[in-house]
Structure 1
Amino acid sequence: MKGSALNSNGILRMISKFPRNKLPMGAALGIAVLYWLYIFTLYRIPSDKEIVNEVLRQGNVWKKNLTAALMFRKQLEECCDPKNLFAVTKQNTPLGSTLWYDGEFFHSLSVNNDTYSLFIKETPLQQALKKCAVVGNGGILKNSGCGKHIDKADFIMRCNLPPLSKEYIQDVGTKTQLVTANPSIIEKRFRNLLWSRKAFAESVKIYGSSYIYMPAFSMKPGTDPSIRAFHTLSDINANQTVLFANPEFLWNVGKFWKARGIHAKRLSTGLFLVSLALGLCEDVTLYGFWPFSVDLNEQSISHHYYDNVLPYSGFHAMPEEFLQLWLLHKSGTLRMHVGPCPDEV
């Protein structure tokens, strides 16, 4: 690292020797490219094996750092205001206001009477939450025995309507207070709710009286499926409450993590939920956040605990996200479970 820094300084000195009005355009471009390569090739995602070795070196020793946790929560409050902005409400998005899509430049939606009627009155999670569990869907959860540990949390967040059927309970638990539902799931799994709504209404019963958290205003194609999901549950007086993610919150969270080195077209749903939890909860524990092809014994594992369907390549930066979360684990800001949970709860 030190040698690379000296090399980059040498490049800067080389540039400074040329008067600005005499430096040939081609030479300037070439030097700029060299400078870019020296600076940015230093960043390399470790291999799966290197990650496993790093996690094993850390061991099971973990201690909460209250100062670090409070400092990180303050940073999230200053940038993103999770408590007041994580969901679109009548309070933070009044009638006549404009919602700008966070995933599409220059696209917006004017809040009229029909749209306004879909919003919850005010942010529902005003009180500080105690122990929160954010449950990813990683294959590392399979045969983990973490179900009882997860269910002991006061507030449990899950990603993308995962299965909680009998064969998975021992590993992932049964309780849910908030679960995300990406519009793409509504489109692919439930045929956009255009033909039958019964399958969707039945499938979410397993989440009890939870919040269904949907990014309706991230991408324009996702708005209509999200609104249909809202009406599907509203029409049958379902126990679940649909919350629409506030695109301002999603946009600010994206900038927050980009400034910390995550390079991706879009953050994963899991990282959005972790950000929300860190902004709202006193204690945050993560389960199932392991985007690698091998477990801690270097045995092959499936991508999800329920299937091996891989994500679209290049859309998310899952290893980068994991490394950032692992740094927060090592600092005592949050806790990550990446292996089997102990028998005692």
Structure 2
Amino acid sequence: MCIRAASGGFALLLGSLAPINGFYSFVPFSRKLLEECCDPGQLFAMTKMNSPMGKNLWFDGEFLYSVTIDNATYSLFPQATPFQLPLKKCSVVGNGGILKKSGCGKQIDQADFVMRCNLPPLSSEYSRDVGSKTQLVTANPSIIQKRFQNLLWSRKAFVDSVKVYNHSYIYMPAFSMRTGTGPSLRVYYTLQDFGARQSVLFANPTFLRDIGRFWKGKGIHAKRLSTGLFLVSAALGLCEEVTIYGFWPFSVDLRGSFISHHYYDNVLPDSGFHAMPEEFLQL
């Protein structure tokens, strides 16, 4: 059984090992405040409309570094956000071990738009718990560097690995840190060169910076927000209904049983970089 914890129009899917009566209560987001501070509908991704040629673009992860958008960079952006907004029903899927044996896959895939984090595995052994549908998936440049050798020698392996996401957008922070620009651009050109079904959207550093400030004002103190919280924040501004799954930053489930960090492995995050328990409490 996929257990739902909900408050108001916003739902948090925890996953489960056994039925639990009642709901887990929490303080819901103020969608209006988020839209006022960060405007996800307009600023979620780099577009020709919000990032014209000649604009000075400040990196959100390196506060003293900027680039000027030239013709080559401008040509990589879509004219506008390539979704018909507002999106209707959205699933935002984290990678938490709480999803193992949850049976949430069917419910996840019933959404009109499914967002996933950091190129997770979606093979058949996981589909019952995490689904198989994807419209947008994030890709941290560090994954490209470590798993695919910066796409210097592993271009086909990368293209083959993302086929599981079908016709989806790969969302990358090309303009957050200088070290991420090269890998992000190589993903764009690799998919284009191979005629892949996936395409790249570049995260707007203005949006990422504003979201970070918003949550800092809510008491989250970390070097950087997790990908999951960025994505949930975006979804609340893009979608009429948001349900999130697999965000559970603890080593035990609701019944006190040990669970792995991810549904596919137990590799732990850098505890000094993100503040996932703080983020969870805000949700």
User: TM-score, normalised to structure 1's length?
Assistant: 0.74
Match of 1:60 in 2: 22
Task: Give secondary structure in 2 for the equivalent of 1:124.
Answer: coil
Query: Could you report, residue by residue, the CA deviation over 1:217-259 in whole angstroms, capped at 9, with x for unpaired residues?
Result: 1111000000000000011221111000000000000000110
Task: Give secondary structure in 2 for the equivalent of 1:133.
Answer: strand
Q: Does 1:134 align with 2:103?
A: no
Match of 2:194 in 1: 236
The answer as to whether partners of 1:147 and 1:169 remain within 8 angstroms in 2 is yes
Match of 1:249 in 2: 207
Matched to 2:227, the amino acid is T
Pick the aligned partner of 1:225 from 174, 183, 186: 183
Query: Could you report, residue by residue, the CA deviation over 1:126-153 in whole angstroms, capped at 9, with x for unpaired residues?
Result: 4211111100000000111100010001
Distance 1:115 1:60 in 2: 51
More strand by share: 2
Task: Give secondary structure in 2 for the equivalent of 1:292.
Answer: coil
Shift of 1:110: 1.1
Distance 2:271 2:23 in 1: 34
Match of 1:105 in 2: 63
Q: Does 1:150 align with 2:80?
A: no
Cα 1:176–1:60 change in 2 (3 A) is farther
The answer as to whether partners of 2:103 and 2:129 remain within 8 angstroms in 1 is yes
Shift of 1:120: 1.4
Task: Give secondary structure in 2 for the equivalent of 1:242.
Answer: strand
Match of 1:268 in 2: 226
Match of 1:284 in 2: 242
Shift of 1:300: 0.8
Distance 1:124 1:292 in 2: 35
Match of 2:142 in 1: 184
Q: Could you tell me which runs of 5 or more consecutive residues in structure 1 were left unpaired when the two chains were aligned.
A: 1-51, 53-57, 326-345
Cα 1:93–1:310 change in 2 (3 A) is same
Shift of 1:118: 1.2
User: TM-score, normalised to structure 2's length?
Assistant: 0.90
More helix by share: 1
Match of 2:9 in 1: none
Shifted more, 254-263 versus 117-126: the winner is 117-126
Distance 1:128 1:119 in 2: 20
Match of 1:171 in 2: 129
Matched to 1:215, the amino acid is P
Shift of 1:62: 7.2
Distance 2:256 2:121 in 1: 26
Q: Does 1:299 align with 2:253?
A: no
Query: Could you report, residue by residue, the CA deviation over 1:69-93 in whole angstroms, capped at 9, with x for unpaired residues?
Result: 7xx2221111001001000011110
Count of residues in correspondence between the two structures: 266
The answer as to whether partners of 1:83 and 1:125 remain within 8 angstroms in 2 is no
Distance 1:292 1:301 in 2: 8
- Sequence identity of aligned pairs in percent? 71
Shift of 1:196: 2.4
Q: Could you tell me which runs of 5 or more consecutive residues in structure 2 were left unpaired when the two chains were aligned.
A: 1-13, 15-19
Match of 2:11 in 1: none
Shift of 1:123: 1.0
Matched to 1:88, the amino acid is M
Which of structures 1 and 2 has the bigger CA Rg? 1
**Which structure 1 residue ranges, 4+ long, deviate > 3 Å from structure 2?**
58-63
